[in-house]
Amino acid sequence: MLKQNIRIQLGCDFRFLLPQATPMIAMLNVHATRIHDLEGPDLIGTWPTVPLSAYHDSFGNWCVRFVAPAGEFRIGTRTIISDCGALDVQPTEIGEQPVEALPNEVMQFLLGSRYCETDILSEVAWRLFENTPRGGARVQAICDFVHDHIRFDYASARATRSATQAYAEGKGVCRDYAHLAITFCRCMNIPARYCTGYLGDIGIEPRHEPGDFSAWMEVWLDGAWWVFDPRNNTPRIGRVLVARGRDASDVPMIHTFGANQLVGFGVVSDQLS
């Protein structure tokens, strides 16, 4: 069911215990491509207050640097974003470009990366998908396989699980679905990049899972990037991008340069009436 002109409350909160002052980088702000939809700035707040500085990384993501003091430390953001309420577009009829015709800037998204071992899974990918139709239909076939192959298991989440391990273990969370689908796409010469952001239960029955950021992928087809979501594998409403990169190693929500204990974490992505 399509919806029009919805408003979504977005926010997150992280609580740490730190044994010493610790440099950090946060990627918590809505991506620049959605800034015009914000009703107000999604300013980052910290408790206690610390000086913040910001920069754009090589993928165009907004990064905030700071040094968190020893002890209990909190960081988070809140905002409201307007959304057209439309479902994700399904580009299954879109074709793909041959490698020699790809723009230079997308070539890096054909290569293996920390969590996407194309060298290990290439033979598997070609065995599974060589006879599928090229383009968006092939990407959808990859998403269908990954969606059915991996069992969602929040309790088994592991920050070090790679695409190869997700394929072997057959379980994981949304980042594992994304990593495996990205790897298969790259093996089939389709550029694919990792995305993270907000995706609430808008337009569907609530799942009653812990609030968290979501992961999906964008693939390059016929001259443009298109969203595919192997975890949900169905068009969704209210997807809000925060950051994108080669895989999850490029876009940690909080990167810490020292010992830390995460003692609290919450994410909100709810439609406002």
Q: Which CATH architecture has domain 6-85+253-272?
A: Sandwich (2.60)
109 pLDDT tier (thresholds 50, 70, 90):
very high
The DSSP bridge pattern shows strands 171-172 and 151-152 to be: parallel
Q: Which of 25, 29, 28 lies closest to 67 in space, CA to CA?
A: 25
pLDDT at 86 over 80: yes
Side-chain half-sphere CA neighbours of 64 within 13 A: 21
Alpha helices per DSSP H over 48-173: 118-129, 136-149, 163-169
Question: Taking a C-beta distance cutoff of 8 angstroms, is the pair 89, 219 a contact?
Answer: no
Q: Which of 179, 150, 164 lies closest to 245 in space, CA to CA?
A: 179
Q: Which residues pair with residue 77 across a beta bridge?
A: 12, 44
Give the tens place of pLDDT for each residue, 194-248. Answer: 999 999 999 888 776 767 899 999 999 999 999 999 999 999 999 999 999 999 9
What does pLDDT average to over the chain?
95
Domain residues of the chain, as ranges? 6-85+253-272, 99-250
Q: Which of 211, 271, 269, 219 lies closest to 244 in space, CA to CA?
A: 219
Cα 170–Cα 158–Cα 255 angle in degrees, nearest 5: 140
Residue 2 pLDDT: 45
**Domain boundaries 99-250, corresponding CATH code:** 3.10.620.30
- Among left, alpha and beta (phi > 0; psi -120 to 50; other), residue 258 is left
Look-up: residue for tokens 């020893």?
A: 70
